[in-house]
Chains A and B, each alone.
Chain A
Amino acid sequence: GQNIDQPTEMTATEGAIVQINCTYQTSGFNGLFWYQQHAGEAPTFLSYNVLDGLEEKGRFSSFLSRSKGYSYLLLKELQMKDSASYLCAVTTSGGYQKVTFGIGTKLQVIP
């Protein structure tokens, strides 16, 4: 099976930088997604990492270390609208790309 661990809650200040960590233990690991989910809304795609290293996309960056079973999402220049849950999800190879989600990290951005 899969085991995905991420902090349940974080608080950060507007304009600052925050790093949300995710560790996983899984067999047949293929890649790792980060999704953003505002309260009461559907998850929206942020990033997908397959290879080790950092991928930057505007204010958001995502890092993956396959050997350590570790990923993080880095949010820069935080804005109030970034207050949301951030879901780490691992994909495993097989007949299709099965996605297993973590419980999500609820980020609160304060003034």
Chain B
Amino acid sequence: DTGVSQDPRHKITKRGQNVTFRCDPISEHNRLYWYRQTLGQGPEFLTYFQNEAQLEKSRLLSDRFSAERPKGSFSTLEIQRTEQGDSAMYLCASSLATSGSTDTQYFGPGTRLTVL
């Protein structure tokens, strides 16, 4: 297993454009998370999936943000009408939730978004 992968690694876009990021979790991990991280800060939780169900969304996730995990495997995060404040590193993490074990989240390399 090669770990969590994300695509693209870098994205530069103009304000007002839509962008979509993809995350492929570790195989058989049933939980998937999206975080946003800005310089000098820790990752901030955006949303969480258990299999294909989106179970929690942070209030940071405005109406311009949408995430899907259609088949319970890979996930996409779309930002519509991007704003300069959306510039950040978008991190994806996955975990395997089983009873009696630590639900450790393993992170992907992130997608760095720059909005001009």
Contact = CB atoms under 8 A, between A and B. Distances in A.
Interface of A: 8, 31, 33, 35, 40-45, 48, 50, 87, 89, 91, 95-104
Q: Sort A-B residue pairs by CB-CB distance and give the 3 closest, nearest first.
A: A101-B42, A42-B107, A97-B103
Contact of A95 (B55, B91, B104, B109): B55
Interface residues of B, number: 27
A43 B35 CA distance: 11
B109 A48 contact: no
A100 B103 contact: no
Contact of B43 (A50, A95, A101): A101
Contacts of A45: 104-106
B103 A43 contact: no
A42 B48 contact: no
B12 interface: no
A103 B104 contact: no
B84 to A, nearest CB: 20
A48 B45 CA distance: 19
A42 B109 contact: yes
Contacts of B108: 42
